[in-house]
């Protein structure tokens, strides 16, 4: 079996040339993105106008009466 000898930088590069840096376009061509189901086929309906009158009616309800009697204390 051959002895492990240190390689020169040129020899080391020559043995590792199987890995190539891909451009973004090359990578995208090899790895297409699947469609994102969250972004597909959303049918936007017309936004219904908010009935502001209901909000005003809620605001005009009389405040609950405050019980001003002495609090009950438990022993």
Would you state the pLDDT for residue 2?
A: 57
- Note if the pTM is more than 0.75: no
Would you state the pLDDT for residue 40?
A: 63
Q: Residue 23: pLDDT band by 50, 70, 90 thresholds?
A: very high
CB of 40 closer than 8 Å to CB of 32? no
CB of 7 closer than 8 Å to CB of 14? no
Q: What are the φ/ψ torsions at residue 38 (nearest 5 degrees)?
A: -70, -25
Q: d(Cα 26, Cα 37) in Å, to the nearest integer?
A: 25
Would you state the pLDDT for residue 44?
A: 66
DSSP letter (8 states) at residue 22:
P
At residue 30, does pLDDT exceed 60? Answer: yes
Output 28 or 44, whichever has higher pLDDT. 28
Beta strands in 1-75 (DSSP E): none
């Amino acid at each position: 079996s051959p002895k492990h000898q240190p390689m020169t930088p040129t020899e080391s590069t020559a043995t590792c040339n199987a890995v190539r840096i891909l451009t973004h376009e090359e990578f995208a061509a090899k790895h297409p993105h699947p469609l994102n189901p969250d972004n597909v086929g959303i049918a936007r309906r017309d936004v219904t106008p908010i009935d502001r009158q209901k909000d005003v009616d809620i605001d005009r309800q009389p405040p609950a009466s405050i019980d001003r009697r002495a609090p009950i204390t438990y022993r």
